[in-house]
Copies of this chain bind each other. A is one copy, B any other.
Amino acid sequence: MRPTMGDIAVEAGVSQMTVSRVIRGTGQTSVEVRERVHDAARKLGYVQNRLATALRDESSTLVAVVLPTLRNRVFSEVLDGINEVLSTGGYRPVFGVTEYSQEREEELVLDLLSWRPRGIILSGLEHSDATRAAVLASGVQVVEVMDTDGDPISAAFGLSQTQAGRTTASHMISKGYRRFGYIGSRDGKDLRAEKRFAAFRDVVRESGAQIVNEILVEGPSSMVAGRRSTAQMVASADRPDAIYFSNDDLAAGGIMHCLSEGIEIPSELALAGFNGLSFLEALPIRLTTVETPRLEMGRRAAAHVMQASEPSESLPSPSVIDLGFRLIPGETC
């Protein structure tokens, strides 16, 4: 159907091998032959069949990417960073979404591995044993992004979710708040948010303060959910004087509720978020949050997969690269 190197070879009057060499620009070829081959290729509308190349090479230039969701800007930014770097080397991401389910992740990983990708990028450090076993057995480059609190399969680029939670708590406590609320999402399926909150809670308790109210919203986190939950929490008997949100979208919703209801920030209610999304800069009130290196985690992970040229028998020892975070003090606490 579609022209192959063989067809071009006939058209150009050379062997298939010569066509292969010309097209890849490897080996020695005369100028004259090169031109004939390129002309023939153009004339026939030749498009390389990378399936064959990859089969032959026992590895493709695809990179598997496994994300928990696409409904959260955080992960599309990570994906953007990944793609940005991969595309400079002609690599392409093939991806799947787990919806925060380890079982789904397991299936997905097996499936993606069947494309013999050059590497696989996973989110977080928690995976089922089968998932870990599968990627390890596959021999492909494995990189985990987002988190540093745990044992990586091989390499990880992330930030300490625990430290981020502690830092936020310390900041809020230093500002004098003592009665805290927490608004999170995903019914505890987001392990990283859980780590942040666990650390936050520890610091709060250590300091003698307390968590007086917790709301976990159903469905994906969003400004709307944040606004609704804040309204609910503020109206409840256990009204906190400060709320820690599991991310900026929820927190921004909290700000919106306060703006609408005339609740004074931070005197009547203090708020803190997580991620440092750029839209916060546009809000009338600057949210106190923790900035995370989302693009950078993606870029570094992609770069790591790409520079894995030599399949060294001695697998590089597991290593975690902490890309850090930064507390951005705003006007909300």
Q: Which residues of A does B touch, CB under 8 Å?
A: 1-2, 45, 47-52, 54-55, 58, 60, 62, 70-71, 73, 76-77, 79-80, 83, 87, 90, 92-97, 110-116, 133-134, 137-139, 222-224, 226-227, 249, 252-253, 256, 259-260, 278-279, 281-284
Expressed in whole angstroms, the minimum distance between the Cβ of A179 and any Cβ of chain B is: 25
Copies per complex of this chain: 2
Expressed in whole angstroms, the minimum distance between the Cβ of A178 and any Cβ of chain B is: 28
Interface residue from B2, B76, B110, B227 paired with A76 (Cβ < 8 Å) = B76
Q: Inside 8 A of A281's CB, which chain B residues have their CB?
A: 223-224
Q: Inside 8 A of A114's CB, which chain B residues have their CB?
A: 47-50
For A63, give the chain B residue with the smallest CB separation: B94
Instruction: Verify A51–B55 contact, CB threshold 8 A.
Output: yes
Q: Inside 8 A of A96's CB, which chain B residues have their CB?
A: 83, 87, 92
Instruction: Verify A71–B80 contact, CB threshold 8 A.
Output: yes
For A283, give the chain B residue with the smallest CB separation: B256
28 A-B residue pairings within 8 Å (CB atoms): A1-B58, A2-B138, A45-B137, A47-B134, A48-B114, A49-B114, A49-B116, A50-B114, A51-B55, A51-B116, A62-B94, A70-B77, A70-B83, A73-B73, A76-B76, A80-B97, A83-B95, A83-B97, A90-B111, A92-B111, A93-B95, A95-B95, A222-B278, A222-B282, A223-B281, A224-B282, A249-B279, A256-B282
Complex: A115 Cα to B2 Cα, angstroms: 13
Interface residue from B1, B95, B253 paired with A92 (Cβ < 8 Å) = B95
Instruction: Verify A282–B223 contact, CB threshold 8 A.
Output: yes
**A51-B116, A94-B92 are known contacts. Are A224 and B138 too (CB-CB below 8 A)?**
no
Complex: A126 Cα to B54 Cα, angstroms: 32
For A112, give the chain B residue with the smallest CB separation: B92
For A45, give the chain B residue with the smallest CB separation: B137
Complex: A93 Cα to B64 Cα, angstroms: 10
Q: Inside 8 A of A80's CB, which chain B residues have their CB?
A: 70-71, 97
Instruction: Verify A282–B115 contact, CB threshold 8 A.
Output: no
Expressed in whole angstroms, the minimum distance between the Cβ of A227 and any Cβ of chain B is: 4
